[in-house]
Each structure stands twice: as C-alpha cells, then as structure tokens.
C-alpha cells in the first residue's frame, strides 16, 4: 500500500481549493498582484501560502519514511495529523474573526509531523 499517496491526494485537492479561493478573492477585490489592502484577500493568500510552505516537506518526510519501511501505523498517524492540521489551519485563518486557538492547534500538529517525520527518517537511516 502506498500510504503517502493516501494523504497526498486529499492534500492536493485541498491545494486546488485554496488556490481557487485566492483567485475568487482577487477577482472580488479587483487585485491582480498582492493583497491590495483587502483583509479577506490577504487571509486567502496566507492560507494558500502557509499550505505550500509546510505540506511539501511533510509529505517528503512521510514518503521517505515509508520508503525506509517505517511502521505503517506511524505513517498513518503522521498523515492524519498533517491532514487534520491543514484543514484546521485553512478554516481558522480564513475567518475574519479569527480563533487563534485553531491556528495554534493546527500549527502544533504540523510542527509535530515535521519533527516526528524528521526523527523517524534519522531512525530509519541509522537503524534501518
């Protein structure tokens, strides 16, 4: 089973959704580049940007751990945490009256995936 693909696919669809949200917000604000001082557009841009800043490395780490035969349950935990964290973040950051707690939870999940994914890859490389 390709565990990484199981999580990469919905995350890719989420990237498409976040991208479309930026396009819609740009159209509504009549802004081609930047945010034009529109808070809603800025939030859409940052939701998309934050996603592309963190998800690729997390998926690379999960994929490398999978290739190194890390335990499947660990890979699923990492994939679920990444997916949950990114959904929570996208929802939280897009709210005009932002719930900072959602962003803290989402980034904690994302950072945990990166840290555990990195440690897992060191373990797989050294212990194998």
Could you report the per-residue pLDDT of 61-92, keeping only the tens digit for each?
A: 999 999 999 999 999 999 999 999 999 999 88
**What is the percent of the chain with per-residue pLDDT over 70, rounded to a whole number?**
99
Rounded to whole angstroms, how far apart are CA atoms 41 and 54?
20
**What is the percent of the chain with per-residue pLDDT over 90, rounded to a whole number?**
86
In terms of residue numbers, what domain contains 48?
Answer: 3-127
The CATH code of the domain that includes 104 is: 1.20.120.550
Predicted TM-score (pTM) of the model is 0.92
**Phi-psi domain of 97 (left: phi exceeds 0; alpha: psi -120 through 50; beta: other):** beta
pLDDT bin (cut points 50, 70, 90) of residue 121 is very high
Query: Token match 């935990």: residue?
Result: 77
Query: Token match 């959904």: residue?
Result: 87
Domain count, the chain: 1
């Amino acid at each position: 089973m390709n565990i990484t693909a199981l999580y990469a696919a919905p995350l890719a669809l989420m990237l498409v959704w976040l991208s479309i949200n930026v396009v819609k917000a740009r159209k509504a604000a009549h802004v081609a580049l930047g945010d034009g001082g529109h808070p809603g557009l800025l939030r859409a841009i940052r939701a998309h940007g934050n996603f592309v800043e963190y998800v690729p490395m997390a998926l690379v780490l999960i994929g490398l751990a999978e290739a190194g035969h890390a335990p499947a349950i660990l890979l699923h935990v990492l994939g679920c945490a990444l997916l949950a964290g990114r959904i929570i973040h996208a929802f939280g950051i897009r709210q005009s009256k932002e719930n900072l707690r959602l962003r803290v939870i989402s980034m904690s999940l994302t950072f945990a995936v990166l840290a555990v994914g990195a440690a897992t890859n060191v373990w797989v490389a050294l212990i194998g």
